[in-house]
A and B are shown apart, each in its own frame.
Chain A
Amino acid sequence: MNQFPVLVGALRYEFHMQFHRRAVWITMIVLGLLLAFLLTRHNGLNDVLMFLNSPSLPAAVAYWADMVNFAILPIGIGVLLADRLPRDTRTKVHELFTSLPGSLSMRLLGKYLGSTLATLLPMFAFYCIGIGYILVHTHNLLTIPLALAAFATIILPGILFIGAFSIACPAIMWVPLYQFLYIGYWFWGNALFPGSGIPTLNGTILTPIGGYMSLGFFGAHFFFPVEHATALQALESMLLLLGITILVISVLPRFLEWQQARQ
């Protein structure tokens, strides 16, 4: 049986269900407003605009991508994805779907991609607001391809990374526990600066906020403890995040099959 249509079908329907989930939009809008409040409160609106008005277009786009990706919105994404897998057990769909010939790995990959992309949409919409400002300010149409490149390299790898763990980890732990640990991890791994006395992933190529990609590909960063990074380091960081993502999503169906065989 050709399993590619299973992947496409699962992606489509999981996207549909997550897209129409009111909690996703309400949560992300509230977090977006909170982010806007924090940015303008802490730095002042003028400071934010100063970054967006940077004479270097790539830098302006990178600053904005960093700001959007920095703290709160990815937290929302990870938290909102955490219940997607346990939901199949909760709704008792799992038993029926296990009896179907569609492969578990394709179904899970579709669930992961569809749910993550749907949950990413509000963040993308928020991202487009800043890009829209840059476009209007610079009157430079290059803003659009740069914005897409920045989103794809700075934001997307990290989101796919946390999305994979948010889908997979609830297979072995209670969802609220995962959500709590995930929020803690996000602040520990991205907001805590090295040299604070507590070891942190922040500043390493494992940091999902995309600091290395921002510096290495676009020459600018916002709130990242590394001053210089090469394009090669940026590529390393991206590939490492995506590689771990692929590993997690590949292991998950094996783990679930093993669990099922043990029943």
Chain B
Amino acid sequence: MDITINHLSKIYRGGVHALDDLDLHIPSGMFGLLGPNGAGKTTLMRILAGILRPTSGTLRIGAFDGNTGSGRSAIKQVLGYLPQDLGVYPDLSAHQFLDYVGILKGMNDRKLRQKRVAELLELVALSNVAHRKLKTYSGGMKRRAGIAQALLNDPRLLIVDEPTAGLDPEERIRFRNLLSDLGGNRTVLLSTHIVEDIARTCQHLAIMKNGCVIFQGTTADLLRNTRDKAWIITTRGIKPEGNFTVISRLNTGTAVKYRVVGELSPRAGAVAVAPTLEDGYVWLMREQHTHASVILVP
């Protein structure tokens, strides 16, 4: 289920331009949406989920026109949405909450619905606590209940907004693996500011900044863009000077290794390394900062 977005803008009351003439094409499969806080990712997710209306522009999800009421209703039938800030009724159990969401998703057959709820609670490893109230759940458990509710109607489009924010490393890995398994024959749009989540799960991605898409392509494209831009500079501890951004600093005891991204000539103590997606992201943000009008869309 492809998503095509043309000239999409969203201006909130008060004049905040959350999206600015955004163009984006999202193919089927896992798709990552990366960007700093305030880039407009959540606004875009909310528009795709039918929660917000765009100020202007067009939006097509599969055969459905997201600009019309009937189109939005049709999209909601095939949509699974995990919001950034998932809300639950604290006094309901996970089983009850999922059952309620299932009813609101049009799953009218009680037996089938409850069977599906049980299957999903098993999938997200919440079967043992399914009848406990949601207010007793940890953040990670609530997130898993959240992904379970998003999958109730076996959606063709799954939108997950910052799904691993606040989770411990083990929970994050579990979540990423779950999302990767889901990407098979549906469109999964993963919005996050954690580069590692995209690197581990998505082949295609877009990067947003200030309400615009500044990059769309594959992770390989982004890495190719960053070739010869990632370096390790080893010093005795003094921070190196130059036209680059420091990604990380590792103190080995005898020396300090700085991983940097920038235009460097080979120099003493500087070794070119294969770039990671994080390097590619930082490089792109640097380029955007320097050449604000540059839009890289291979």
Known: A91-B90, A96-B81. A13 touches B100 (CB 8 A): yes
Known: A95-B51, A263-B52. A102 touches B105 (CB 8 A): yes
Nearest chain A CB to B94 CB, angstrom units: 14
CA distance A115 to B195 in the complex (A): 44
CB pair B50 A93 closer than 8 Å: no
A contact residues around B91 at 8 Å (CB): 17, 20-21
CB pair B87 A93 closer than 8 Å: yes
CA distance A5 to B79 in the complex (A): 19
B: interface residue count bin: 20 to 34
- 7 further interface pairs, Cβ-Cβ under 8 Å (given A13-B96, A96-B86, A260-B51): A2-B108, A9-B103, A10-B103, A93-B88, A95-B83, A96-B83, A99-B51
CA distance A234 to B53 in the complex (A): 47
CB pair B106 A102 closer than 8 Å: yes
CB of A97 within 8 Å of the partner chain: yes
B contact residues around A260 at 8 Å (CB): 51-52
CB pair A263 B89 closer than 8 Å: no
CB of B85 within 8 Å of the partner chain: yes
CB of B92 within 8 Å of the partner chain: yes
CB pair A97 B89 closer than 8 Å: no
B contact residues around A107 at 8 Å (CB): 104
CB pair A13 B51 closer than 8 Å: no
Contact with A along B87-123 (1 / 0, CB 8 A): 1111110001000110111101000000000000000
User: Which of chain A's residues 1-39 have a Cβ closer than 8 Å to chain B?
Assistant: 1-2, 5-6, 8-10, 13, 16-17, 20-21
Of A6, A96, A261, chain B has the most CB atoms within 10 Å of the CB of: A96
Nearest chain B CB to A143 CB, angstrom units: 37
CB of B216 within 8 Å of the partner chain: no
CB pair B104 A102 closer than 8 Å: yes
Known: A91-B87, A95-B51. A263 touches B106 (CB 8 A): no
CA distance A17 to B91 in the complex (A): 7
CB of A100 within 8 Å of the partner chain: yes
CB of B136 within 8 Å of the partner chain: no
Chain A interface, DSSP helix/strand/loop, else mixed: helix
Known: A13-B92, A17-B91, A101-B76. A95 touches B104 (CB 8 A): no
Known: A99-B49, A101-B77. A6 touches B103 (CB 8 A): yes
Give the size of the chain A interface in residues (CB under 8 angstroms). Answer: 30
A residues whose Cβ falls under 8 Å from a Cβ of B: 1-2, 5-6, 8-10, 13, 16-17, 20-21, 88, 91-102, 107, 260-263
Contact with A along B134-170 (1 / 0, CB 8 A): 0000000000000001000000000000000000000
A contact residues around B90 at 8 Å (CB): 91
Nearest chain B CB to A103 CB, angstrom units: 9
Minimum CB distance partner of B107 in chain A: A5
CA distance A100 to B46 in the complex (A): 12
Minimum CB distance partner of A4 in chain B: B108
* 14 contacting pairs across A/B (C-beta < 8 A): A2-B106, A6-B104, A13-B89, A16-B92, A17-B91, A17-B92, A21-B91, A95-B51, A99-B79, A101-B76, A102-B106, A107-B104, A260-B51, A263-B53
CA distance A63 to B92 in the complex (A): 40
Known: A99-B50, A99-B81, A100-B76. A262 touches B104 (CB 8 A): no
CB pair A91 B88 closer than 8 Å: yes
B contact residues around A92 at 8 Å (CB): 83, 85-87
CB pair A1 B88 closer than 8 Å: no
Known: A9-B104, A101-B77. A96 touches B87 (CB 8 A): yes
Minimum CB distance partner of B152 in chain A: A100
Nearest chain A CB to B191 CB, angstrom units: 14
A contact residues around B87 at 8 Å (CB): 88, 91-96
> Which 8 A-B residue pairs are closest in the complex by CB-CB distance?
A92-B87, A9-B103, A102-B104, A93-B87, A101-B76, A99-B49, A99-B81, A100-B104
